[in-house]
């Protein structure tokens, strides 16, 4: 299993600002995933981050709103840009594994 450190664990942000979430893995992984969980909802995949290439975004998510960096095989960041109250969610990073994906602790974001 992988150990994933995600920070910040929570934040309260003003609308119109941006927040960058960091995800550090204790081993090298090819793919990292970013999910969003809106209040009372299930998890939805935002994008897949591969080292050395552009992230692949799911339908409904765009790079301008959720830019992702993947500078090496153990680290990734997700930025939530120009935030609005609708962006209030839990954001989780994940690494895939053949028999189980593991998640960071999540970032609970509130936009006011």
Partner 1 sequence: AQKITQTQPGMFVQEKEAVTLDCTYDTSDQSYGLFWYKQPSSGEMIFLIYQGSYDEQNATEGRYSLNFQKARKSANLVISASQLGDSAMYFCAMTSNFGNEKLTFGTGTRLTIIP
The full 3-state SS of 51-79, as one line of letters, equals CCCCCEECCCCCCCCCCEEEEECCEEEEE
Contact flags string 36-55 toward partner 1, x per CB under 8 A: -x---xxxxx--x-------
The residue whose two tokens read 């090298």 is: 28
- Cβ–Cβ < 8 Å for 28, 73: yes
Give the footprint of partner 1 on residues 72-111 (CB under 8 A). 90, 92, 94, 96-106, 108
Q: Which of the 8 DSSP states describes residue 85?
A: G
Least spacing, CB of residue 112 vs partner 1, in Å: 19
Least spacing, CB of residue 76 vs partner 1, in Å: 14
41: enclosing H helix or E strand:
none
- Check binding of 31 to partner 1 (CB under 8 A): yes
The contact set with partner 1 (CB under 8 A) reads 1, 31, 33, 37, 41-45, 48, 90, 92, 94, 96-106, 108
């Amino acid at each position: 299993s992988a150990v994933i450190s995600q920070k910040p664990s929570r934040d309260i942000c003003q609308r119109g600002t941006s927040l960058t979430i960091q995800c550090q893995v204790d081993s090298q992984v090819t793919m990292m995933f970013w999910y969003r969980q809106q209040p009372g909802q299930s998890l939805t995949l935002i994008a897949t981050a591969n080292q050395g290439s552009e992230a692949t975004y799911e339908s409904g998510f765009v790079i301008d709103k959720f830019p992702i960096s993947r500078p090496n095989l153990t680290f990734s960041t997700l930025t939530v840009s120009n935030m609005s109250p609708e962006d209030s969610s839990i954001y989780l990073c994940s690494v895939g594994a053949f028999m189980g994906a593991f998640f960071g602790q999540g970032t609970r974001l509130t936009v006011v």
